[in-house]
Amino acid sequence: MESNPSLVWSIVNNTCPQCRKVNIFSHSAFSSRFLEVKEHCDNCQARLIPEPGFYYGAMYFIYGLQVAIIVVVLTILNIFLPDPRWYYYAITSTLLILLTATVCARLSRSMMLHFFGGLQYKG
Ligand SMILES: [Zn+2]
């Protein structure tokens, strides 16, 4: 019997919220079109763009993700460095935002689709 991947696995791997088998993005993360989501799932035909402008809401998820990453890393920095200078925080925060931007942007779209996309079929 084939088990269905979990919701968290599906969000992290950017797979279709319905069948959890096919990637929702049409291009790789290293492409200049890395944020393009397919119209429909290749496997189950679920609609991956529920309405025009649907993914504008993903900006709230990316904001939350990046704030969470920064808070965790700056807390770790504060624990391991006895008296860090202010620019340690500024440089670390800037580097983290730049390094995680692509991953967070794709993850935020996946979260938006899984939490608010509903299950809609090609029609
Ligand atoms: Zn699917």
Distance (angstroms) between ligand 1 centre and the Cα of 61 equals 22
Tell me which residues have their CB within 5 A of the ion that is ligand 1: 16, 18-19, 41, 43-44, 46
Give the predicted TM-score (pTM) of the model: 0.85
Contacts of 23 (CB under 8 A, 6+ apart): 13, 14, 15, 16
Average pLDDT over residues 43-69: 93
From 67-71, 81-85, 119-123, the region with the lowest mean pLDDT: 119-123
pLDDT value for 39: 93
Q: Are 62 and 109 in contact (CB under 8 A)?
A: no
CB count in 10 Å sphere of residue 57: 14
> pLDDT tens, 16-39?
999 999 999 999 989 999 999 999
pLDDT value for 123: 46
Distance (angstroms) between ligand 1 centre and the Cα of 38 equals 11
Distance (angstroms) between ligand 1 centre and the Cα of 98 equals 31
